[in-house]
Chains A and B, each alone.
Chain A
Amino acid sequence: MNLTSLVRTSHITRTFTHSIKPISSSSSVSLSHTPTSLNPKPKTPLYLKPPIYTTSLSSLKKFQKWAKTLSSSVNASFKDSSNLHQELNWLLQDSLQNPNILQTHEENDNLVALRLKLDDLYDLWTQRIEKRRPFQYIVGCEHWRDLILSVEEGVLIPRPETELIVDLVNDVIKGGGENGDLGNGLWVDLGTGSGAIAIGIGRVLGDLGRVVGVDLSDVAVRVASYNVERYNLQDKISIKQGSWFEPLSEFKGQVAGLVSNPPYIPSGHIDGLQPEVGRHEPILALDGGDDGMSDLLHICNGAASMLKSGGFLAFETNGEDHCRFLFDHMETIHKESFCNLKIVPDFAGIQRFVTGFRS
């Protein structure tokens, strides 16, 4: 199969839509449907909106003071765990056409250009503090690696830890060696969410390298496609809707690399999550079943038949226990299929990733 034609022809292939998370994808029935007006366009990040509103410098300073007071009123655990001071700066940075004007000590009636109404700024900051709405949803973007990805409710905000998957892939590609030219092969990102990993990998691959990102969620597919277009990578990366391997049957045995950050939080932990996560981020992106391992195991078991010999795989997990379990599982059950398995820690020192190669 020619990879280039694949990417060009099947831009967004909707093969699967489901409002509830399937227990196991193999038992689910595929429902195909065409995109309709029910699917609104992805939201434009605040920093990309046109600066069509104005307010006076003094009103803006007043907002800033008010916002600072509001953030200092929050309880200690919220204050400790968050970065409200920086977030307020970044919110203003994204809202203003010329963020430097806030550095002056003057307060005057000079007009400043804003990308949203001043009232909306008040609203947004109230949501941040009172509703614990994640900062990234408020500004509509997340800075991740050297990318600025559009995010909105319904799609997981990519985490800093996950950036490392791209580094791991990059090392493997640049390392070259006995595994052939992985950088010019087909890569798969399962559960692509905002498209973060897919885009990150897309930018380190060679000219012939291609990425397919898969997600079950409507919103994720839309947001990921939007981000791919924003980075002008639509010739390199295609986003497909469906459950895990289901939209990929045509690539069996041809995949050069498979990566995934699937939902891995044990169901029992969902209620206790930090409000920003538990109340606002999509449960479909978080809940990994009783022990948090169901999706990881499902993907792990399917990986062997997708990857070509010498192909690379990397999974993000919930931590040491998951890593050990997965490692042992692959070493025993799939002894024949995988080699060179490794557990890799994140920058906080937590064992986070399992990597390996298809024998």
Chain B
Amino acid sequence: MKSDSDNFLEIKRHEMKMQQKKYELKQQVFVMQQQIKQRQEDKLFYMSLVCHLSGIHLEKVMQMKESLSTVFQSQSNSIKSQNPSSGYASFSKFSNGYVSNLDKKVFWSCGSRLFSSSQEAVTCDGLTVDGIVANDWLILDESESDWKSHASAIAQSICLIKKRLKWKKLKVRLEMLSYQVEKPDLWDDPVHAGKISREHGSLMGKMKEVNGLEQELIEHIDMIKLAREENDPDLESESVKALLRMRQNVKEKELEALLAGEHDSCSCYIEVQAGAGGTESMDWAGMVMQMYKSWAQRRGYGVTVVDEMCGEIAGIKRATVRVDGEYAYGYAKAEVGAHRLVRISPFDSAKRRHTSFAAVAVTPILGDGSHHVQINESDLKIERYRSGGAGGQHANVTDSAVRLTHIPTGITAACQNQRSQHQNKASAMAVLQSRLDQREMARQAQMNAQYSESLTDNSWGNQIRSYVLHPYRMVKDLRTSYESSDPDSVLEGEINDFILSFLTDSMDKENDEE
């Protein structure tokens, strides 16, 4: 037997769903229009969009938008946010199949089929995630068991995550990739196909994850409302607890979303180079390298020295370490630039204050099959260094360091930590590959000016952090103004906070500018 309130709820829910569908339809058009406007310069996209729409005139789309907005004028007031957050995946079907039949009846009859796969999460009384954010409910401490506060915190986190993932761009890109993935001739070029389908999979995963979070939030809220209506305090407190768990979980996801760049999850090389100033700055470069080694070890990353040129008296002239582990590149890329040290030099008998610099460069190690550059063996100059004398049977040395020079670009890479020359060469080759890949990415980025600066290797011109040991003690990041008064622990590898504050800052700033 259904109670009145059940029936009421059902009707209400149905009403909401209808309203939601109209809203989504409006959003489809909005998104389309936005994307077209936004991407008109982007030739690649535009081209694909054009063939994607397979012959539909933009005007028609505009017209359609016009007519729809009049039809739904009345509803649009009740929906505050115009932020389109779902439904874009059905764009293609919509634009190809149904436009010409744009007649209210036909449209509605196929409406549910159209949008069923991409419904925005909404509670039975019409609350959406964006709606929750717009409500601006007071966020209390986690310990306060207040569902609105939890829900508001979660909704804001979800918004932040979307912002960090560049949600709009992500959806456009995903749409384009989905189109390419379905092309029957995709695998004619297996390398390209591999790239496309990998990226498609990864973006799809992100999309699903966020949609899942929205869905989960809405379900918890529905549960709580239901529990209240049913007067079931156990269910209510269970659901509030679930909401709290979600709140904590989503906080972590916020951090993960900072590392959503294409190569962020890769392992990487960190290279440190001493600036001018002899032993003092070589010592400083050595300290910086040690800082990264300890940091990486604490994070559980594998650390291998690939190439190291020691200073005569102390420290290093330069060194490259390979850092293996998930998100090594995503984090370490925050360290690219010049690091400045001010202290009384232990190498100066007059005990004067010195300022020295060390430059840090970071390159991602792309997986097989995602390289941007193909290295020709014949373009390489291969040298054994640190060897002298007659060699061959005359010498028994365990050092078989190899240096490679890529003649067309002049880029070099060296390796000496391996136990055979063959493997030193292979290892140097991997470094060279990653440097060439990065160079190529930077070149492409300049062409479509969409990559962040972190990819340019102009580390000297870009002073990012200053470490003062005298006359006061302070480490300060010049980009974020984040600081620490405990240089010792920073130099022992406690740099996570510096990294996170930079990533948060740059990511959130960058996306605000959009």
Contact = CB atoms under 8 A, between A and B. Distances in A.
Interface of A: 81-83, 86-87, 90, 103, 134-136, 143-147, 156-157, 159-161, 163, 261, 263-265, 269, 273-274, 276-277, 281, 285-286, 316-319, 346-350, 352
B420 A319 contact: no
Contacts of A103: 297
Contacts of B383: 347-349
Contacts of A144: 420, 422
A286 B395 CA distance: 11
Nearest to B384: A347
A285 to B, nearest CB: 8
A150 to B, nearest CB: 14
Contacts of B402: 347
Contacts of B390: 318-319, 350
B396 A277 contact: yes
Contact of B400 (A87, A160, A274, A285): A160
27 contacts: A83-B398, A83-B399, A87-B398, A135-B398, A136-B398, A143-B423, A144-B420, A147-B420, A157-B396, A159-B391, A160-B384, A160-B420, A263-B393, A264-B392, A265-B393, A269-B394, A274-B395, A277-B394, A316-B392, A318-B394, A346-B384, A347-B382, A347-B421, A348-B387, A348-B391, A349-B383, A350-B392
B419 interface: yes
Nearest to B396: A276
Contacts of B400: 160
B396 A163 contact: no
A292 to B, nearest CB: 9
A145 B399 contact: no
B396 A274 contact: yes
Contacts of A261: 393
B304 to A, nearest CB: 11
Contact of A346 (B391, B396, B422): B391
A274 B422 CA distance: 24
B19 interface: no
Contacts of B382: 347
Interface of B is mostly: loop
Interface in B392-422: 392-400, 402, 417-422
Contact of B391 (A82, A135, A161): A161
Contacts of A135: 398
B420 A134 contact: no
Q: Which 8 A-B pairs have the closest CB atoms?
A: A143-B419, A160-B421, A347-B384, A145-B422, A83-B399, A143-B420, A160-B400, A276-B396
Given A83-B399, A163-B421, A349-B383, 12 more contacts: A144-B422, A145-B422, A156-B393, A160-B400, A161-B392, A264-B393, A274-B394, A274-B396, A277-B395, A286-B393, A347-B382, A350-B392
Interface in B219-234: none
A72 to B, nearest CB: 14
Nearest to B421: A160
A147 B421 CA distance: 11
Contacts of B399: 82-83, 86
Interface of B: 297, 382-384, 387, 390-400, 402, 417-423
B392 A319 contact: yes
Contacts of A281: 396
Contacts of B392: 159, 161, 264, 316-319, 346, 350, 352
A113 B392 CA distance: 37
Nearest to A158: B420
Nearest to B383: A347
Q: For B384, B395, B396, B423, which residue has the most chain A Cβ atoms within 10 angstroms?
A: B396
A134 B391 contact: no
B396 A134 contact: yes
Contacts of B417: 86
A348 B384 contact: yes
Contacts of A265: 393-394
A347 B428 CA distance: 14
Nearest to A352: B392
Nearest to B418: A143
B211 to A, nearest CB: 41
Nearest to A322: B392
B401 to A, nearest CB: 9
Nearest to A162: B392
A146 B396 contact: no
Nearest to A164: B421
A147 B423 CA distance: 10
Contacts of B419: 90, 143
A28 B514 CA distance: 87
A327 B394 CA distance: 22
A273 B421 contact: no
A110 B418 CA distance: 29
A159 B422 CA distance: 11
B423 A146 contact: yes
Contacts of A157: 396
Contacts of A160: 384, 400, 420-422
A161 B422 CA distance: 10
Q: For B393, B398, B402, which residue has the most chain A Cβ atoms within 10 angstroms?
A: B393
Q: For B384, B417, B421, which residue has the most chain A Cβ atoms within 10 angstroms?
A: B421
B395 to A, nearest CB: 6
Contacts of B391: 159, 161, 319, 346, 348, 350, 352
Nearest to B420: A143
A220 to B, nearest CB: 14
Nearest to A281: B396
B123 to A, nearest CB: 51
A318 B387 contact: no
A163 B420 CA distance: 9
A281 B44 CA distance: 65
A159 B420 contact: no
Contacts of A134: 396
B394 A273 contact: yes
Q: For B382, B390, B397, B419, which residue has the most chain A Cβ atoms within 10 angstroms?
A: B419
Contacts of A156: 393
A144 B300 CA distance: 30
B286 to A, nearest CB: 14
A91 to B, nearest CB: 11
Contacts of A86: 398-399, 417
B422 A277 contact: no
Contacts of B297: 103
Contacts of B398: 82-83, 86-87, 90, 135-136
A269 B389 CA distance: 13
Q: For B387, B392, B400, B420, which residue has the most chain A Cβ atoms within 10 angstroms?
A: B392
A136 B387 CA distance: 18
A145 B420 contact: yes
B287 to A, nearest CB: 16
Nearest to A104: B297
Contacts of A350: 390-392
Q: For A146, A160, A263, A264, which residue has the most chain B Cβ atoms within 10 angstroms?
A: A160
A162 B155 CA distance: 65
A269 B418 CA distance: 30
Contacts of A269: 394
Nearest to B386: A83
A159 B395 contact: yes
Q: For A134, A265, A319, A348, which residue has the most chain B Cβ atoms within 10 angstroms?
A: A348
A135 to B, nearest CB: 5
Nearest to B419: A143
Nearest to B417: A86
A159 B382 CA distance: 17
Nearest to B424: A160
A82 B393 contact: no
A263 B392 CA distance: 10
